[in-house]
Copies of this chain bind each other. A is one copy, B any other.
Amino acid sequence: MFLFRQIFPLVEGLRDYKGIDFIADSIAGLVVLFITVPQVIAYAYLAGMPAEAGLYAVIVALVCYAVVGSSRTLAVGPTAIIAMMTLEAASEYSSPGTAAYGHVAMKLGLITGMTLLLLRLINFGAIISFLSHAVISGFITAAAILIITNQLPAVIGIASSPATDVVTVLQHLITGFRALNPATFIIGGGTILLLIWCRFGLANQLEKIGLSELLISALTRSAPMYAVIFSVLIVFLADLDSTNAVAIVGHIPASLPTLQYLDISMAEIKMLSPSALLIAMVVFMESTSIGSAVASKRREKINPNQELVGLGFANISAAFAGGFPVAGSFARTIVNHSAGAVSQVAALITALLVVITVLWLTPLFYYLPKSVLSAIIVVSAVQLIDWQNIKKIFSFNRIDAVTFSFTFMGVLALGVESGVLIGIVISFVLLIRDSSKPHIAVVGRWQNTEHFRNVLRHEVETYPAILSVRIDESLYFVNSRYIETFLLNKVADSPALEHILLICTATNFIDISGLEMLELLDKNLQEVGVTLHLAEVKGPVMDQLGKTDFLAHMRGEIFFTTDIALHELVNKHD
């Protein structure tokens, strides 16, 4: 039973579920529906998929995640960034909009889900630690620009094939500007203005008439739904569709998702895996970021391992339902939380309402102009660009600024995958560059106490024959060469030196490179008449050294404290 509850956190979450909780969840589920439907159709188009793919993906992802995911309020489904990454990855192998393309996108979702489960199996959720804040920020900012340029032609009514390359899209925009479609331009532009006004102007108006904060939030965040309703009415009343004046969504099949047969070959797995790995990392990163932010507001916690399972199954089920990769949505999760969702039941209710929409309400979306959906995407993509944050990165430290810039430029110039890879490599190269020069302090006794301080900062007592050195790091391959060079140079510079004392207070582990360095150092020092001693070696490090013959070969001693070491070494000389 305990195991069962671990595998299905929903069971645990519903232990004390009450009637009032169900009412709260139902309200939240309904509010989330209004933002979900326009978004998932829009993101399906962005991903190069038909509208129903987004609807199917969100239905099964919501249900699946509610059962096995660990967050109570995360709203899983298509998101802008993941849709963009899907388009980039799948369009390499097939033309967006075709049936073959749909299968590539589904397989991508399947491999993404399997990758997430694999990361759980090898217990390696820490893989997202590879993505530094600067890399994520550079990637999201550039991806937002890619999304905007990708959608702008549709907003203003210029025919353009889906492209992930900024330069190509800008060329389409410029060359196609003369062929601009006036009706589309007015509807698309009007939608953008409406959405911006709802975000900034509407809230003020509603505050003035004294509505509650919760209601204001629900009303302003439902803006995409107003745009949908207005534009459908306009197209219908002005008969814009029969004149082909605007591109509309058209017929969406009124049927539930069916199980797709995904005939996946080893070659396809190999081909799609690099993209799927990166998408899985971003899915996990996006979802746990928003998931833990919301959980902490409620003094709840999420379990990263369980998240890998939840998101993995959500992606696999979305793929088999004919969808594409899914993640925790920032906007929909915030709405779910602030609309008062208590448990995963809210997500199940949203899913149920999407099912009802698919079965009976799709005719309502027949007249929906595609430019409205593109406008919704553009406005939400603009919100992904966080100027404050970028400013902070550039003012805080040079390394993060460099990493951000390379990631940003890389994503724009070479695409998401290459750009993020460049960012990861650069962040590690810069980290190693710093870590390879650990802080090493030559220390001396401070005012006849048992305290030892840096000779550069304090007036301390030292002896010409003894060098006491505190290394503020573990001894491992990244820094062992530097430490060796530092000590050998000290020996070359100090002819009177006879003892080196390494104070290991900050050494948490030693790897084979560190051990090799110690052994070689000890041997080389012995040859020139200098003895190497250690002090304050931590327990686990002593255990590691005990496995080797280093301690047997070593001429010097291992002292319990620096104080004892200095006393004994000084006495030897008296």
Question: Contact residues of A with B, CB < 8 Å?
Answer: 124, 126-135, 288, 292-293, 295-301, 304, 389, 392-393, 395-397, 399-400, 427-429, 431-437, 439, 472, 476-482, 484-485, 488-489, 491-493, 495, 506, 508-509, 511-513, 515-516, 520, 524-525, 527-528, 544, 547-548
Across the interface, A296 reaches (CB within 8 A) one of B399, B476, B491, namely B491
Determine chain A's interface SS by DSSP, over half rule. helix
A126 and B477 contacting across the interface, CB-CB below 8 Å? no
Across the interface, A520 reaches (CB within 8 A) one of B293, B393, B400, B506, namely B293
Q: Give min CB distance, A343 to chain B, whole Å.
A: 16
Q: Give min CB distance, A561 to chain B, whole Å.
A: 14
B296 and A488 contacting across the interface, CB-CB below 8 Å? yes
B292 and A485 contacting across the interface, CB-CB below 8 Å? yes
A396 and B512 contacting across the interface, CB-CB below 8 Å? yes
Cα separation A127 to B300 with both chains bound (whole Å)? 43
A432 and B130 contacting across the interface, CB-CB below 8 Å? yes
Measured CB to CB, the nearest residue on chain B to A493 is B301
Q: Give min CB distance, A88 to chain B, whole Å.
A: 23
Q: Give min CB distance, A395 to chain B, whole Å.
A: 6
Q: Give min CB distance, A87 to chain B, whole Å.
A: 28
B485 and A548 contacting across the interface, CB-CB below 8 Å? no
Across the interface, A397 reaches (CB within 8 A) one of B130, B396, B429, B544, namely B544
Cα separation A433 to B300 with both chains bound (whole Å)? 26
Measured CB to CB, the nearest residue on chain B to A434 is B509
Cα separation A129 to B489 with both chains bound (whole Å)? 18
In the assembled complex, 10 residue pairs joining A and B whose CB atoms fall closer than 8 Å, in A order, are A124-B433, A129-B435, A129-B436, A132-B511, A133-B477, A295-B488, A296-B527, A301-B485, A392-B515, A396-B544
A528 and B396 contacting across the interface, CB-CB below 8 Å? no
Cα separation A489 to B293 with both chains bound (whole Å)? 12
Residues of B within 8 A of A433 (CB): 124, 126
Q: Give min CB distance, A533 to chain B, whole Å.
A: 18
Cα separation A240 to B553 with both chains bound (whole Å)? 53
B472 and A129 contacting across the interface, CB-CB below 8 Å? no
Q: Give min CB distance, A64 to chain B, whole Å.
A: 23
Residues of B within 8 A of A399 (CB): 511
Measured CB to CB, the nearest residue on chain B to A549 is B392
A481 and B129 contacting across the interface, CB-CB below 8 Å? yes
A296 and B431 contacting across the interface, CB-CB below 8 Å? no
For the complex of A and B, the 3 pairs showing the least CB-CB separation, nearest first, are: A132-B477, A133-B513, A129-B436
A437 and B392 contacting across the interface, CB-CB below 8 Å? no
